[in-house]
Amino acid sequence: MKAHDFISAQDITTDELKSLFDLAKDMKANRNKYLRSCEGMSLAMIFEKPSLRTRVTFDVGIQQLGGNGIFLGPNDINLGKRESVFDVAKNLERMVDIIMIRTFAHAICTDMADYAKIPIINGLTDHEHPCQALADFFTMWEVKGELQGKKLTYVGDGNNVAHSLLLTGARLGVNVTVATPKGYEPDNDVVEKAKKDAGQFGATIEITNDAAAGVAGADAVYTDVWASMGQESEAAERKRIFSPYQVNSGLMAKAKSDAIFLHCLPAHRGEEVTDEVIDSEQSVVFQEAENRLHVQKALMHELLQ
């Protein structure tokens, strides 16, 4: 990869995305082939937010590449309070080979990348979730084949996941639609960046407040929780506003008959998605979750070369 870090979906080119997917596919099929590819290397995993999939897939992933992972929770560092981001970066760059950070403010992640001389991976910020988008489109590619011209509709809050889907999908030639209530649209700067890339790669970007129209003809339907971490105080109000955007069998029927269902998890069953959808044959959410492991292994492999 040309970029030293993976902070944003815009840090990876279309050709690099496709090569990364090919590598992830090979890693998934031939685990033993890469057991020593990052031998002796260490990954520091900084967590300011709780996690299941991010923690397990990065920890297991670096082990399967022959390296080791070090978990650093909120009480270990307390970024910006107990110790500055600069000091943490300058310490860790002398002790480990690569850092993954899962935090709140996106600026913490970008600052870490500016200060540290080793690769930094964005494991999630309030602005983007680029590793999740890698797994999402890798899964869609596994199931649907060639991505160019396919349609993915995201239904729900225009949040960090929506941002990374827009930016990544545009570079893969995927037509990405975001269906969301008024006032909850994705960041306009992100939308404009995605539209610029989409124009270059023959794709379209659409933002709508009509869930049914947005899902029409979709090859993949995606949703996320209505209230993300840090928005708990808004949960009741968001539930009222987002209820018409629930992904249920009626909404899925608007998509193509062979459309797949995606969710970054954890899911609040009965809210943004019903059991009949998430447990249906159309759902690939657990395949998608597993694929976090494979795409992140490929990502670490490339950044450490």
Q: Is position 264 annotated as part of the catalytic site? A: yes
Q: Is position 224 annotated as part of the catalytic site? A: yes
Catalytic residue among 157, 224, 246, 301: 224
Catalytic residue among 102, 171, 294, 301: 102
Residue listed under structure tokens 């349609």: 151
Q: Is position 102 annotated as part of the catalytic site? A: yes
Catalytic residue among 55, 106, 129, 238: 129
Catalytic residue among 127, 292, 294, 301: 292
Q: Is position 238 annotated as part of the catalytic site? A: no
The CA distances from residue 26 to 31, 54, 79, 298, in Å, are 8, 21, 37, 9
Side chain identity at residue 67, one-letter code? G
Q: Return the sign of the alpha-carbon dihedral for residues 64, 68, 74, 75.
A: positive
Q: Is position 131 annotated as part of the catalytic site? A: no
Judging by beta carbons within 10 Å of its beta carbon (0-12, 13-18, 19+), is residue 138 exposed, middle or buried?
A: buried
Phi-psi region of 269 (alpha: psi -120 to 50; beta: other; left: phi over 0): beta
Q: How far apart are CA 47 and CA 187, in angstroms?
A: 25
CB 214 within 8 A of CB 155: yes
Q: How far apart are CA 46 and CA 202, in angstroms?
A: 37
Q: How many CA atoms lie within 13 A of 53 on its CB side?
A: 23
Catalytic residue among 106, 111, 127, 132: 132
Q: Is position 36 annotated as part of the catalytic site? A: no
Side chain identity at residue 274, one-letter code? T
Angle, CA of 44, 48 and 51, to the nearest 5°: 85
Which residue numbers are catalytic? 102, 129, 132, 224, 264, 292
